[in-house]
């Protein structure tokens, strides 16, 4: 587990550094486009993380109970990969020009191939996590992030520009091929089964994907919605690029490691179903405490960091950075309560909680408020609304367990 902790910290730091490098390697307009593309890709992978989560739960439950159904995550992954390829290939001409200019064809192709590869990476991640092969899973995470970081540094030094950063966004999704090629243990693990048959597996993966897709709206895709809902006459004291950068940077230290730790939390909650509230309290308290401490630090040194390390146009006041940091902790708490609901097979409530959170956040984002105000309020109120749904479901699960 120590290796997983180190890998998640490295993933958070490397994502931060890649975005930072992009702000220097590209002009402000290109950097804004890159952040939107980055956000969309990881929002789409957020949908596919539902496959990883349910695979983790199914493999872990099969290992704990000894039950083995006929469900095959790899086969389902092939179907989902083909679906992702078709959707991007057939619709990219319409929405890609809204994100990037001049290289829409290659950007669409990279997006399609990247999502196909990430589908299989999600399956392998779920299997490795469900079997408790944390060192192998940590290696996959570190490789995914390390490839992006190394190539970003090379692209900056070589002056390769926007096309290279588009490729860098998606290339880490091929890491699963390296892990399988280099590890006999990982190749043997791919035969692991889940505890349910094909139809229940497909339904549960679909539910999990709806929830993780909704979570991606709040976590990685939110900059896309900021861009889409902000007109040229917006009422704001900061630039759109500045607020997008602030959202991205304040999320990375909390949510990127937590995203990578989801599989470990699922295994923890599956093993501690009989004492779920106690198992839930520690990570929620830790994340909220980190949000308070991190928010104070962001208020004090955040504006200075933006001024020193970033170009003009990215200035954001300390109070906004503090609120956005605590908002990230609220989203992190929602992730944890959602994972707990999934672990006790409350798939419907898991989905409803995330959809509620995203819907409330997007509704607030449409209010006639200054940009920075509606972004901050949306990212706090939305997760709180969704968390209440999850907690209600967990209370119902606890009551049902007592009656048995």
HEC letters along 47-84 = HHHHHHHHHHHHHHHHHHHCCCCCCCHHHHHHHHHHHH
Whether 302 and 316 have beta carbons less than 8 Å apart is answered as: yes
| CA atoms of 29 and 41, how far apart (whole Å) | 19
| CA atoms of 128 and 287, how far apart (whole Å) | 25
Predicted confidence at residue 85, as pLDDT, reads 97
Question: Range with the lowest mean pLDDT among 240-244, 295-299, 352-356, 374-378?
Answer: 240-244
Predicted confidence at residue 401, as pLDDT, reads 59
Closest alpha carbon to 285 in 345, 337, 237: 337
How many structural domains compose the chain? Answer: 1
Predicted confidence at residue 139, as pLDDT, reads 94
In sequence order, the 6+-apart residues with CB closer than 8 A to the CB of 91 are none
Percent of the chain whose predicted confidence (pLDDT) is above 90:
52
* Overall average pLDDT of the 12-23 stretch: 87
Domain of residue 309, residue span:
2-403
In terms of pLDDT, which residue wins out, 124 or 232?
A: 124
Question: Range with the lowest mean pLDDT among 187-191, 203-207, 209-213?
Answer: 209-213
Helix (H) or strand (E) segment spanning residue 322: helix 318-343
| CA atoms of 342 and 136, how far apart (whole Å) | 24
Whether 187 and 180 have beta carbons less than 8 Å apart is answered as: yes
* Overall average pLDDT of the 158-173 stretch: 95
Q: Which two tokens stand for residue 332?
A: 């992190």
pLDDT at 252 over 70: yes
Longest dimension (CA), the chain: 65
Whether 387 and 352 have beta carbons less than 8 Å apart is answered as: no
| CA atoms of 202 and 205, how far apart (whole Å) | 5
pLDDT digits (tens, 9 = 90+) for 67-110: 888 889 999 999 999 999 999 999 999 999 988 888 999 999 99
- Share the mean pLDDT of the chain: 88
User: Helix, strand or coil for residue 231?
Assistant: coil
b/e for 330-368, b at 16 or more Cβ within 10 A? Answer: bbbbbbbbbbbbbbbebbebbbbbbbbbbebbbebbeee
Closest alpha carbon to 59 in 48, 74, 46, 47: 74
How would residue 398 be classed by pLDDT, with cut points 50, 70 and 90? low
- pTM over 0.95? The answer is no
In sequence order, the 6+-apart residues with CB closer than 8 A to the CB of 183 are 136, 139
Whether 332 and 254 have beta carbons less than 8 Å apart is answered as: yes
């Amino acid at each position: 587990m120590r290796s997983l902790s180190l890998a998640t910290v490295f993933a958070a730091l490397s994502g931060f550094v890649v975005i930072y490098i992009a702000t220097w390697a590209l002009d402000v307009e290109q950097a804004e486009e890159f952040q939107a593309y980055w956000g969309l890709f990881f929002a789409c992978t957020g949908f596919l993380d539902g496959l990883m989560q349910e695979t983790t739960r199914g493999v872990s439950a099969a290992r704990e109970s000894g039950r083995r159904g006929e469900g095959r995550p790899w086969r389902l992954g092939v179907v989902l990969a083909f679906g992702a390829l078709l959707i991007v290939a057939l619709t990219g001409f319409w929405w890609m020009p809204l994100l990037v200019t001049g290289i829409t064809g290659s950007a669409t192709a990279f997006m399609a191939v990247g999502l196909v590869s990430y589908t299989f990476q999600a399956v392998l991640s779920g299997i490795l996590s469900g079997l408790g092969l944390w060192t192998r899973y940590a290696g996959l995470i570190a490789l995914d992030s390390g490839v992006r970081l190394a190539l970003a540094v090379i692209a900056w030094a070589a002056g390769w520009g926007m096309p290279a950063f588009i490729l860098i966004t998606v290339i880490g999704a091929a890491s699963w091929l390296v892990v399988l090629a280099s590890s006999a243990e990982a190749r043997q693990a791919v035969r692991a089964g889940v505890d349910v048959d094909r139809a229940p597996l497909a339904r549960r993966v679909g539910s999990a994907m709806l929830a993780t897709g909704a979570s991606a709206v709040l976590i990685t895709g939110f900059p896309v919605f900021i861009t889409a809902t902000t007109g040229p006459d917006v009422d704001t004291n900061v630039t759109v690029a500045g607020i997008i950068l602030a959202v991205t940077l304040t999320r990375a230290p909390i949510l990127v490691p937590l995203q990578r730790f989801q599989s470990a939390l699922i295994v923890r909650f599956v093993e501690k179903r009989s004492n779920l509230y106690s198992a839930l309290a520690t990570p929620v308290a830790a994340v909220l405490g980190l949000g308070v401490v991190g928010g104070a630090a962001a208020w004090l040194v955040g504006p200075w960091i933006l001024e020193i390390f970033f170009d003009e146009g990215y200035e954001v006041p300390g109070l906004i950075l503090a609120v956005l940091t605590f908002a990230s902790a609220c989203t992190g708490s929602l992730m944890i309560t959602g994972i707990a609901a999934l672990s006790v097979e409350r798939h419907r409530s898991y989905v409803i909680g995330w959809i509620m959170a995203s819907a409330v956040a997007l509704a607030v984002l449409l209010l006639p408020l200054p940009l920075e105000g509606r972004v901050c309020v949306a990212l706090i109120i939305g997760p709180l609304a969704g968390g209440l749904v999850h907690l209600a479901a967990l209370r119902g699960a606890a009551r049902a367990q007592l009656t048995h």
